[in-house]
Structure 1
Amino acid sequence: MLPRDTDWRQGDLLSCEAAAALELVSANDQGRRVIVITHDCDLVHDSERCVEVIIAELVVKDPKPDPQLSYAKNPRRLHLAYEATDAAPLILELRHADRRSVPKGDFAGSAAKDHSHALPVDAKRALKQWLAARYGRPAFPNAFEKRLRKRSGKHTVEQLIAKILEPDAKHLVGLFFDLGEQRGAEAAEGEPYALSVSVVYDATEGGTEARLSAERVAGQLREMFEKTYGKPDVATEIALDACEAVADTRLTLADLRRVDQWRLEHISLRDGDQGDFLPAGEMPA
């Protein structure tokens, strides 16, 4: 078991030698690293018999995080950047399918931490959100999601949303849908969903550039929704009542309890597709 004063924390990176000793990767595998994902408190709790880890792939083609896979924007894949004092950042891609459990006794006997790389605070927050979002992301009414799969030209509305968001993904925290009293309702044919959309941007890091990006996205979304479903007063499927850029500093807890963060679920199931910007979970990282 791990002692109460252990220095292991969620997000810590195992050394390559330790990962091989625990038979998580082969000794000569230079393309994968192992990350601890068990919560800090569970690492020392006696009732927890295993340490959960995830085997991550080293990103080498483009050694920087993909904006669409950063900050928990994709429910199944995540890019994390581990900082080093005397080397380039280590960019790793995580997938839920690559989680493993290691008995605590084995972990305590063989695990060693890679002290040359550290996970920044904001990246650790993103890791926590990504792990939690697997089970906590919202589900919208089937009728609503079916209507979002309506084709507009060669693409569905979902795919068009992704194309609109992609160029500005790095500035956006998430897209939040407010269905009001229809939040859990299966609307009958001819009864439109009244939808309000908040395009939330990072006001602290992005500043004016992020605001302009969010405003541009909001305008393009309004145009696309009205082209596909018609103006709100005549729409029979989805009536877009509002679509506005909102600073993350203005999003209150009351707002988050009323709205749901939306994601492109069917596209995110195709792991090879890079077109799924939309985040998962109900809280922004």
Structure 2
Amino acid sequence: MPQAAPEWTRDTPWRQGHALSSEAAAAFGLEHHSHPGDTLVIVISHDCDLANDNLEVEPEVEVIVGRAIPKPDGNFAWGKTPKTLHLEVACDGAQAFVELQARRKVALPKAELAAFAPREDFALEPTGLAVLRSWLGSRYNRAAFPDAFNRRLEATGFAKRLAKILAAHGELISFVYFDLAGGDQQELPDGMPYELTIVLVYQPGDEPLDTADAVDDVADKVSEAAEEKLSGQSGQPAELVNFKSCFAVSEQDIPVSRARLLMHWRLEHVTLKADDDDLAPVQF
């Protein structure tokens, strides 16, 4: 007598952040478009949606077809860009990294995924899961800077210089905030520069003093680049963007009231190490 196919129930073992086995990925025909041998498929549906066993209301599980990578690019760590994420995970108890791209989402039928179990050798720690959730939402909830500011920043070349700095040190930085001194919603006329302060937010980690020193060094490099690219001649204010300062602050020390006044700047348009197929459109 043939065995009945497994059914999707509220007791499903699947949770957000779980990974599909190679057998499950092959059964659904999922593989990375350019690195099929490194395919790693991550479940991104919310736990509440996964627990819903009414398949007429919630029939599918959403996943992202990603890939294992040898090391992260700092520009894509901590969800700095909504299009690509480099995330630390654990495989067989060892540190590993995965690259996820927002446009590589696929919906799988729960009725078919019920036949498979999550990978037991794969784990996503709470911090990594929080980053994943924040990154998933950032595509639809991110700051829009004034067009005039975007054009001016692009004209100075500072955005690309900042991306290069963070590419080497970006694992330290969880957020990059821009404060435009009240000009965040204003299209300023020619001759009236934006006043720019840059805030680098970081996680203190297990060695907070060492981390603080390292991030202060990054802030110094950002300041040097900003002064070179943005500052006016002979001490006069810049005509496009007038750089005020760059400083670092721990996630534990920045108050919510302060964070709400800042605008999260993401490196959406400067994917320095991406393949041509993965390049994002030029925009802020």
How does the TM-score come out when normalised to structure 2? 0.82
Task: Decide whether aligned partners of structure 1 residues 99 and 251 sit closer, same or farther in structure 2, where only a CA change above 3 A counts.
Answer: same
Question: For 2:137 and 2:100, how far apart are their aligned partners in 1?
Answer: 14
Q: Give a deviation string over 1:132-168, Cα, whole Å, max 9, x none.
A: 11111211111101111124xxxx1111112233332
Question: For 1:215 and 1:72, how far apart are their aligned partners in 2?
Answer: 21
1:54 is paired with a residue whose SS is strand
Match of 2:51 among 44, 57, 61: 44
Question: For 1:126 and 1:67, how far apart are their aligned partners in 2?
Answer: 14
1:150 is paired with a residue whose SS is helix
Task: Decide whether aligned partners of structure 1 residues 268 and 194 sit closer, same or farther in structure 2, where only a CA change above 3 A counts.
Answer: same
Question: For 1:266 and 1:139, how far apart are their aligned partners in 2?
Answer: 13
Match of 1:10 among 4, 8, 16: 16
The answer to which structure, 1 or 2, has the higher relative contact order (CA under 8 A, 6+ apart) is 1
Equivalent residue number for residue 145 of structure 1: 150
Equivalent residue number for residue 126 of structure 1: 131
Question: For 1:80 and 1:167, how far apart are their aligned partners in 2?
Answer: 16
Whichever structure has more helix as a proportion of its residues is 1
Gaps of 5+ in 2: 1-6, 280-284
Match of 1:77 among 56, 80, 84: 84
- Contact 1:90 1:117 survives alignment (8 Å): no
2:46 aligned partner, one-letter code: H
**What is the deviation of 1:177?**
0.7
Task: Decide whether aligned partners of structure 1 residues 205 and 237 sit closer, same or farther in structure 2, where only a CA change above 3 A counts.
Answer: farther
Question: For 1:257 and 1:234, how far apart are their aligned partners in 2?
Answer: 27
1:161 aligned partner, one-letter code: L
- Contact 2:158 2:230 survives alignment (8 Å): no
- Contact 1:37 1:52 survives alignment (8 Å): yes
Equivalent residue number for residue 135 of structure 1: 140
1:146 is paired with a residue whose SS is helix
2:214 aligned partner, one-letter code: S
Matched pairs, number: 263
Question: For 1:157 and 1:260, how far apart are their aligned partners in 2?
Answer: 17
Identity of aligned residues (%): 34
Question: For 1:118 and 1:223, how far apart are their aligned partners in 2?
Answer: 40
- Contact 2:75 2:267 survives alignment (8 Å): no
2:250 aligned partner, one-letter code: A
Matches within 5 A, 1:56-95: 56-59=66-69, 63-85=70-92, 88-95=94-101
Question: For 2:73 and 2:222, how far apart are their aligned partners in 1?
Answer: 23
